[in-house]
Structure 1
Amino acid sequence: MYKKILTLLLSTILISCSTGNDKKIEKLIFHQYGQDCFGLCPTYHLEIKQNNEVRLHIETFPTYAPICKETGFRECNVVNDSSKIGFYKANLNTSEVSFIFNYLDSVRIDTMQNYTFDCSDDITVSYLYFTPNKSKKLLYECPSVRDYLLNGLTEFLQNLVSENKFQKTNEYFKIEDLKID
């Protein structure tokens, strides 16, 4: 009887330890879609791996045409800054990567659901995360309305892109996207 209880106890401990590893997030993909935004919102795709590697694909990068400033914005149109469009790579420092993945764990991203809010003047973002046995996508339309748990992370990722820590590369790559569960 004692052996059976000990065996059951040990197997429970081993199973619970291995389950924790299955939930560890290995990779995060962040998509920002700016087409519904009122203003200058770029569309880009950012992939961050636990090994500090980061890839960025900027599809659109709207900016004001030079005539806007020349006329005090009386005449103005938005143009795409083609010098920013392309593929980029970088290595983040360990503290930045740790912050990102620890934050995802602390807000329990694995329990979050998709959220849609009917608005026409905000970006749409999606988070796609991967564990050893699972991948899940979260879609947030108008994240500033409801995305209070992920707002800090969204701003952190947007700042990473705007700080321009990336090196432009001629290498083409596709950053994954999944259909909504």
Structure 2
Amino acid sequence: MSRVGKMPVAVPQGVEVALTADQISVKGAQGALVRPVHRLVKVASENGQINFAPADESAEANAMSGTMRALVANMVTGVSKGFERKLNLVGVGFRAQAQGQKLNLQIGFSHPVVKEMPAGIKVECPTQTEILIKGADRQVVGQLAAEVRAFRPPEPYKGKGIRYSDEKVTIKETKKK
């Protein structure tokens, strides 16, 4: 059996978990998330913990029990604490501005780039060169950060562009004569 799938998910104070036959829903201070339960996984909730087990002896059921456990653990963390990704803008004249549910970027193009944020996601700009994307769903937060970074990924010669705050950009040496 999957080592990850064996570990139960602890449900913290203030988080409600509702199990039905085909889906699991988690509610907390940061919001509510719903995920369908895979047919090869049995889910049980008892004593403030959620347990996962494969429905049969197949390798796919074993793998899916660990996957479902990890996804539900991220849901519980998301509705209790939330997730965030921090991006930095590096370049002369590069600016970001949060306007409600829109992110307005000036990143060296002849026009400003505007990115609309989906429901449940908050975007903040503590400074003009920092972007904070926050939300309860880890996958959506990571995907949005990747989409914003894709507007202007860091280039290898000067390092200009949008990068994650923990990303290391290796600068190449210029061509010699």
- Please state which structure has a larger fraction of its residues in strand: 2
TM-score w.r.t. the length of structure 1 is: 0.21
- Please state which structure has a larger fraction of its residues in helix: 1
Q: Relative contact order (C-alpha < 8 Å, sep 6+): which is higher?
A: 1
